[in-house]
Amino acid sequence: MMRKLTMTLRAGLTTRVYVLLGIVAIGVTLWLAPLYAAIRPPKLEYQRLVLPNGMVVVLHQDKSTPIVQVELWYHVGSKNEKPGRTGFAHFFEHMMFKGSRNVEPEQHTSIVASVGGQANAYTNEDATVFWQTMPAQYLPLALWMEADRMASLRVDEKMFVAEREVVKEERRMRIENPPFGLLNELISFHAYDVHPYKHPVIGSMNDLNAATIDDVRDFYNTYYVPDNATLLIAGDFETDTVIGLVNQYFGRIPKGATPVPRDIPKEPMHTKERRINLEQPWPLPAVVIAYQAPYNGHPDSYPMFVMSKTLSDGQTSRIYRKLVYDTGLALTAFGSSSFLEDPGIFYAVALVNPGKSPDEVEKALIAEFDRLKAEGITERELQRAKNQFTRDYILSRLSIKDKASQMGHAEVIQKDMASADGEFDTFLKVSTADIKRAAQQYFVPERRMVMRIMPKGAAGASGASGAVEVVK
């Protein structure tokens, strides 16, 4: 009887263990399952029109809250600048707040704040964007002010000189003073041969010092014109009323006197590995591995984006785990993928731990890229990346500001409004086979740059200006 009871207890315990394991397995499966199937956000409804002066207007009506988002995208960024004239796009972002025919200097932001709104701007390689978030009843005010500074910006010598000093100080604080602050500039400068992506968005100190008021005025007259602008309006409004206001305020502004120049040099496909050795006043050596990458919206950019999540995004990434946790070769390791309007770069960086060699770190970084080429990623890694993307995508649809930005990026950078929604499905169709194929195509030695940045005076450093060795 006792033996039978013991067997029964054991059987019951075993059953409960199996049930528990089954529950855990189901939980894991559900966690990895395509959650997006049930929570895909609704498609963005919009109306697109083009004014006679060439300005594109995109409207998205959302009456959930009495708020409007106004974004004016000028299709000009640092890539439109010429050598010796860098920093103009970012500089003009500042100048646009320095007054116009009807608005005094520095009053634009204060007027917006006085009615409970917010206003700001940003510049990147491809575009300069000005945005305002306003209570819905003040939409006419927002449109009037944007049209006013497009048509009649003040560009006088005094404002120009004062704001140039502001930008120079911004460069000192953000780029030149922090340790490793020049890292991104050095990577871009050496990764490109001819494309202006090699120049920093904020510009060089020498170019800022050399800029003249005539240069600035010419830049304004060339690029700050209706036929180089896209107006995004999202939020609580009546469509017919808004179209009338847009025509009233922007329709009267003439298009540019000449076509907007698009003579941007194309970066050739590299055919040899390049090795860059530099010195910087940094506390630790840095090793960079960079590869040429496709442009934003290219079919291969989607598996490359998923790869970046797995390979180099955060402390759970392959590179961080291998170089920091497993081997202790690096103090930190991370990566980035610059998917821009034109082909960009995909790179990984490691800061070498004291006592470890840059040779070891270089081999370890390249090994992770080679592993990706040979093995690809697992279905579990792929699903985790897709779940992260789904989460981020849904969160980006929670505000009208994010919706407007998504539409602006689709219209201006990808030149396809359908991509504002279509990218969701494109990402989710990426397979492990797509990722392995893209890795094998792009992560090849002839498209690779190996950069070592050594502390000044360290053995093996080759001078502050750097030395370039092309390895056949």
Residue by residue, DSSP assigns 154-208 as ---HHHHHHHHHHHHHHHIIIIISSTTTTHHHHHHHHH-SSSGGGS-TT--HHHH
Are 90 and 201 in contact, with CB atoms under 8 Å apart? yes
Query: Strand, helix or coil at 232?
Result: strand
- Whole-number pLDDT of residue 314: 86
Name every residue whose Cβ is closer than 8 Å to that of residue 216 and which is 6 or more positions away in sequence.
Answer: 88, 91, 92, 95, 155, 160
What span, in angstroms and rounded, lies between the C-alpha atoms of 137 and 436? 52
| Domain parsing of the chain, residue ranges | 47-250, 273-471
Name every residue whose Cβ is closer than 8 Å to that of residue 439 and which is 6 or more positions away in sequence.
Answer: 307, 369, 372, 373, 376
Are 310 and 385 in contact, with CB atoms under 8 Å apart? yes
What span, in angstroms and rounded, lies between the C-alpha atoms of 337 and 349? 12
- Whole-number pLDDT of residue 155: 84
- Cβ neighbours, 10 Å, residue 351: 23
For residue 125, the 8-state DSSP code is: S
- Whole-number pLDDT of residue 34: 53
Instruction: Give me the DSSP letters along 384-440.
Output: HHHHHHHHHHHHTTSSHHHHHHHHHIIIIISS-TTHHHHHHHHHHT--HHHHHHHHH
Matching CATH topology for 47-250 and 273-471?
yes
- Whole-number pLDDT of residue 394: 87
Letter string b/e over residues 381-392, b meaning 16 or more CB atoms within 10 A of that residue's CB: bbebbbbebbee
The fold adopted by the segment(s) 47-250 is Cytochrome Bc1 Complex; Chain A, domain 1 (3.30.830)
Name every residue whose Cβ is closer than 8 Å to that of residue 17 and which is 6 or more positions away in sequence.
Answer: none
Give me the amino acid identity at 21.
Answer: L
- Whole-number pLDDT of residue 331: 96
What span, in angstroms and rounded, lies between the C-alpha atoms of 448 and 345? 10
CA distances to 20, 47, 370 from 23, rounded to whole Å, are 5, 48, 37
The residue with tokens 């797509």 is 434
Name every residue whose Cβ is closer than 8 Å to that of residue 285 and which is 6 or more positions away in sequence.
Answer: 351, 352, 358, 361, 452, 453, 454, 455, 458
What span, in angstroms and rounded, lies between the C-alpha atoms of 94 and 88? 10
Token reading at 348: 């990984």
Q: Measured in Å, how far apart are the chain's first and last C-alpha atoms?
A: 82
CATH number corresponding to 273-471: 3.30.830.10
- Whole-number pLDDT of residue 11: 39
- Cβ neighbours, 10 Å, residue 70: 24
- Whole-number pLDDT of residue 341: 96
Strand ranges of the sheet holding 448-455, from the earlier edge strand across to the other edge: 330-337, 345-352, 286-292, 448-455, 273-280, 467-471
Q: What is the mean pLDDT of each run of 10 residues along the chain (472 residues)?
A: 34 37 37 53 91 98 96 97 91 91 91 96 97 98 96 88 92 90 95 96 93 89 96 97 98 94 94 96 96 95 93 91 97 90 96 97 98 95 90 87 94 93 91 97 97 82 43 40
Say if pTM beats, i.e. exceeds, 0.85. yes
Query: Strand, helix or coil at 10?
Result: helix
Would residue 332 be called left, alpha or beta, if left means φ above 0 and alpha means ψ between -120 and 50 degrees?
A: beta
- 3-state SS string for 136-168: HHHHHHHHHHHHHHHHHECCCHHHHHHHHHHHH
